[in-house]
Amino acid sequence: MLQRLSASERHFLYDILHLLLFSFDAVSLFLIRDDTIVVHIMFHRGGVVKQIKTAEIMLPGKKDESMKIEKTVVITGAGSGLGRYISIESAKRGYYPILVGRSGEKLRSVQRELVDLGVPSDIEEADIRNHTDNKRASEAVLNRTKKIDVLINNAGAGFFAEADSLSYEKARQMLEVNLLGLIDWTSFFLPALKEQQNGRIINIGSMAGRIATPKASAYAASKAGVIAYSNALRMELKPHRVSIMTVNTGPVKTPFSNKADPTGEYEKSVKRLAIRPDKLARTIVKNMETRTREINLPGYMNKAAVMYSLFPKTVEQLGKRQFMKK
């Protein structure tokens, strides 16, 4: 295995490059390390780093034993939470991650983590609620890559409140991010996926889409829409050899809980039950190349959802205390 620059060496070099950024729009650094040329290119605007691109070039006559980057994965909401972990795990499995999100700063932070893994990546800033943003960013991705192997619609938003207390703006935001943005990104990539007659779309749903609970009416509606959309799309795309997987989980240990319920009560009540995001990301990435239709975690919630579809009234009565923990 090739020796690569250590994390401390990279960070030291970035500090030097920062000093040069005030004089140049882009700074390139070429280093020879053993039998590899390591190239770091930093783009900036006003002295603030906007993007880092990394590549490694083998010297002539040397055999490349490093990780082969053969497949491309596009991940929305990649700047934090589950999206960050999916980006890292997919990179470890040899994918070329294209990170999509609203915050360029957060995307670049994840990109630096991938640099430390020796994996190249790209970023596209886009507000998934904005159709024009989505069109521009998706076109940029399609123009840059020969093939899209996996699209992961991970971006999500949630706010917990009783229906008469939930503002229209927050309800709209959940529907735009969780459902309409997901549909938008999928639609932009469908022609390419159909043409290449291969690919996988992974949509992050929620157990809330299978069991609606109090204070999550609009959120549950958006996630139920994701599940329904995925099921219909799966049948449409089967003749084109494009598969669909829906991921439905209960609470995950990410900043989502605090954003959904700023009081902290929800996070406190589900802390013991919440899924680790790194473990969930590994499960998702392991199934990127399978034909799995759904991932439903944790298992007991999946069983409860099945029971709910058969005996809704009974499950609502038995689960009332747990359902109200928001």
Residue 78 DSSP label: T
Fill in the amino acid letter for 303: K
Q: Where are the alpha helices (DSSP H) in the chain?
A: 7-20, 81-92, 104-116, 131-144, 168-175, 181-196, 217-237, 256-260, 265-270, 277-286, 299-310, 312-318, 320-323
Distances (CA, A) of 258 to 206, 216, 298: 17, 14, 21
The pair of structure tokens assigned to 168 is 């229209």
Nearest to 220 by CA among 171, 280, 254: 171
Of 219, 229, 266, 308, which residue is the catalytic one?
A: 219
Beta bridge partners of 153: 203
- Would residue 96 show up in a list of annotated catalytic residues for this protein? no
C-alpha of 162 from chain center: 28
Q: Please list the active-site residues.
A: 219
